[in-house]
Every structure is written in C-alpha cells, then in structure tokens.
C-alpha cells in the first residue's frame, strides 16, 4: 500500500515536534538564570560611553581653552542618538567648534550640545573640539563639564527637538568629565 506524498510530508514535519515534546526534561520549580552579561536592567542606557577630555592645565586670563572631547561607544548596542558637548566654564564664550562634517550645535537648558551625524558601533569613537575664550577678568580655576548625553529614543522620535525629550519622559544618561584649568597672570 502506498501513502500519498502529502501524508508523508506532514508526518515528517510533525514527528520532530512530537519527539521534542515527549522527551523534553521536566520544568523545574526554580527559573533558570540568564548570564549576567545578557541581562539589561530597565535603568541601563542603550549605549554607554567612555569619555576622554583633553585641555591645557594653565591659561592666561582672556586666553582661549581648547577642549578635545573624545567619545567611545562601549556598548552594549549601536549608538545612534547621542550629543557631545557640555557646560563651559563660567564667564567664557564659545568661539569655535570643530567636528565631523554635518555636526550641528546649539544651546539647551543643560549646556551646549552638538549632535554628530554618525552612528557608532561598539568600540567606535568620534571627537569634537570646542574652543572657549575666557574673560580678561577671569581668576582662579576655569571649570568645565564635558562629555556625552546618550538618549534612548523610541521609534518615531528621531525628528523631535531635544527639548521635547524631557517633556515626554524620554530618559537620557550623561557621561561627563570635570575639567579644571588654572588661570595664571
């Protein structure tokens, strides 16, 4: 007696499934733990950054400080929504920004931030240079806070203004370095 080909094909598809159900080990009462590296907490950023900032140790009052901010994506995912910048020293004025082509910068409530148009894979880096001019009356130490503001944007929020994120409750993480430059006479 011959079996129709459809019946044989159906049995070939169902047999492996039935075998795995019949011979599967019994579920234990305790849930299995996932590896620590695979667990992502709800409060962790989508992309973390290693930030390095270079600046001169000393500068004259009325002089310029050139900050080079280097950001490296340390993962765990692609970084496609981040700003580089920060808060310049009090009494200073930003005179120049140097970054990758297409970089756009502006003042916001929390500092001067530049969006860089390139997404960073894990272990990729980018950098910008910010030049500030101190006032002639500056004394003591010029302290700036520079780094990265990483944002976990939901789908469809790519074109929203940065000021809207706080209103909508979109989380962001700051990876900042405090940079001090002594003002000499």
pLDDT in tens, 36-72: 444 444 567 778 999 999 999 999 999 999 999 999 9
Counting as low any pLDDT under 70, the low residues of the chain are 1-43, 153-163
How much is the pLDDT for 99?
A: 94
Residue 181: per-residue pLDDT: 96
Spatial separation of the C-alpha atoms in residues 157 and 151, rounded to whole Å: 11
- Residue ranges of domains in the chain, CATH in brackets: 44-153+162-184 (2.60.40.3670)
pTM over 0.85: no
Neighbours of 85 (CB within 10 A): 28
Q: Where are the alpha helices (DSSP H) in the chain?
A: 5-22, 162-168
> What pLDDT score does 168 carry?
76
């Amino acid at each position: 007696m011959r079996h129709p080909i459809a019946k044989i094909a159906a049995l070939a598809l169902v047999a492996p499934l039935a075998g795995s159900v019949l011979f599967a080990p019994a579920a234990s009462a305790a849930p299995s733990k996932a590896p620590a590296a695979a667990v992502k907490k709800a409060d962790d950023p989508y992309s973390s950054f290693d930030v390095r900032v270079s600046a001169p140790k000393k500068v004259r009052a009325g002089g310029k400080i050139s900050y080079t901010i280097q950001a490296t994506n340390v993962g765990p995912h692609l970084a496609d929504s981040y700003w580089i910048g920060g808060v310049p020293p009090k009494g200073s004025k930003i005179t120049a920004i140097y970054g990758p082509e297409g970089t756009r910068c502006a003042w916001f409530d929390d500092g001067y931030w530049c969006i860089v148009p390139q997404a960073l894979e894990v272990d990729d880096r980018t950098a910008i240079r910010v030049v500030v001019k101190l006032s002639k009356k500056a004394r003591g130490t010029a302290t700036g806070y520079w780094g990265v503001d990483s944002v976990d944007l939901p789908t469809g929020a790519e074109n929203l203004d940065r000021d809207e994120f706080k209103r909508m409750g979109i989380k962001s993480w700051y990876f900042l370095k405090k940079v001090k430059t002594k003002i000499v006479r």
